[in-house]
Chains A and B, each alone.
Chain A
Amino acid sequence: MLKYQARIYVTLRPSVLDPAGVAVQSGLKHMGYDNVEQVRIGKYVEVTLDAESEDAARQQLDIICDRLLANPVIENYCFELTQLSEAAGVKG
């Protein structure tokens, strides 16, 4: 088994209003940053898992994201996968 870390980004689909993003953008505007066109706020999730291979890890993460971490009705997700060194895995 190999140890992997996934950095998962969950973002609202472009068609869904993001009122928090709009509020932050308006805050930036008050600070003078008139050049900021859009702010969208998402979620960042780190998952560490054991898997046979990178492919197996990716497949499992797709299911995890699709079933729980993101709601496909309103959100998109993507992730970056890194294989952790044996030592780092043991230390957690």
Chain B
Amino acid sequence: MKFGVIVFPGSNCDRDVAYVTRDLLAQPTRMVWHEETDISDLDVVVIPGGFSYGDYLRCGAIARFSPVMKATVEHANKGKLVLGICNGFQVLTEAGLLPGALVRNRDLHFICDRVSLRVERTNLPWTQLYQTGQVITLPIAHGEGNYYADADTLAQLEDNDLVLFRYEGENPNGSLNNIAGICNIKGNVLGMMPHPERASDPMLGGTDGMKLFEGLLKVAVGALA
């Protein structure tokens, strides 16, 4: 399973993701500069957290037009796996690969904390190693993680079981329906505000995120199409 981690100017969680996939999971991993256009060698594309283009204008708005995003959309359209974490989630919504938008946190704070999440659905590669309804703990670190979508879009997400992770207990940022992570209808594109890569090494005090990456190794290439 070959991973690619996209690096935009301002990405800062890219090496954390590569540490998990390359060092902890022992999978081939390539850092992909945002100007690259050929990513056909990759099985999983990860858009990491950070502040692409300084978050100028809106989080993810400028990154969405980087050359590599055209290739990422094609990668997704082939049914291959795309994971957006935090700023990566924002980029995916701006690119139209996922619906809705991430807006300013309800209480205006940048939140850096650990939160409880409920895993809502486990019949997808991302979550197949969790139990349905399992409550896990992952770190969050964001200023604009408040998920917003209009009523129709929200109903569509819920009706099709596209919410994979929901904040359990206190909602940290005001997200509608306590949404922390959603996928597209095919299930091959996941966007989430919490950082599974920061909870994958026991040295860091938590490993609840590791199962997400381990689950991907069980997927035969292209099996989702």
User: Contact between A19 and B148 (Cβ–Cβ < 8 Å)?
Assistant: no
Partner of A71, one of B101, B104, B108, B150: B101
Given A15-B150, A16-B148, A68-B57 in contact, is the A73-B107 Cβ separation under 8 Å? no
B residues near A (Cβ < 8 Å) are: 57-58, 61-62, 65, 93-94, 99-101, 103-108, 146, 148-150, 174
1-40 of chain A: CB within 8 A of chain B: 12, 15-20, 23
CB-nearest residue of chain B relative to A41? B104
CB-nearest residue of chain A relative to B93? A73
A residues near B (Cβ < 8 Å) are: 12, 15-20, 23, 43, 68-69, 71, 73-74
Partner of A68, one of B65, B99, B146, B150: B65
9 more contacts with CB within 8 A, not counting A17-B146, A73-B149, are: A12-B103, A16-B103, A16-B148, A17-B106, A68-B62, A69-B57, A71-B101, A73-B100, A73-B148
Partner of A20, one of B62, B93, B108, B149: B108
Distance between A61 CB and nearest chain B CB, rounded to angstroms: 15
Q: Provide the bound-state CA to CA distance between A5 and B61, in Å.
A: 23
For B104, what are the chain A residues with a Cβ–Cβ distance below 8 Å? Answer: 18-20
Which interface residue of A15, A69, A73 has the most chain B CB atoms within 10 A?
A: A73
Partner of A17, one of B61, B62, B103, B149: B103
Q: Provide the bound-state CA to CA distance between A19 and B94, in Å.
A: 21
Q: Provide the bound-state CA to CA distance between A16 and B102, in Å.
A: 11
Q: Provide the bound-state CA to CA distance between A73 and B93, in Å.
A: 10
Q: Provide the bound-state CA to CA distance between A17 and B148, in Å.
A: 9
For B149, what are the chain A residues with a Cβ–Cβ distance below 8 Å? Answer: 73
Q: Provide the bound-state CA to CA distance between A27 and B109, in Å.
A: 16
Distance between B87 CB and nearest chain A CB, rounded to angstroms: 15
Distance between B215 CB and nearest chain A CB, rounded to angstroms: 30
User: Contact between A73 and B174 (Cβ–Cβ < 8 Å)?
Assistant: no
17 contacts across the A-B interface (CB closer than 8 A): A15-B150, A16-B103, A16-B148, A17-B106, A17-B174, A19-B104, A19-B105, A19-B106, A19-B107, A19-B174, A20-B104, A20-B108, A43-B57, A68-B62, A71-B58, A73-B148, A73-B149
Partner of B61, one of A12, A16, A19, A68: A68
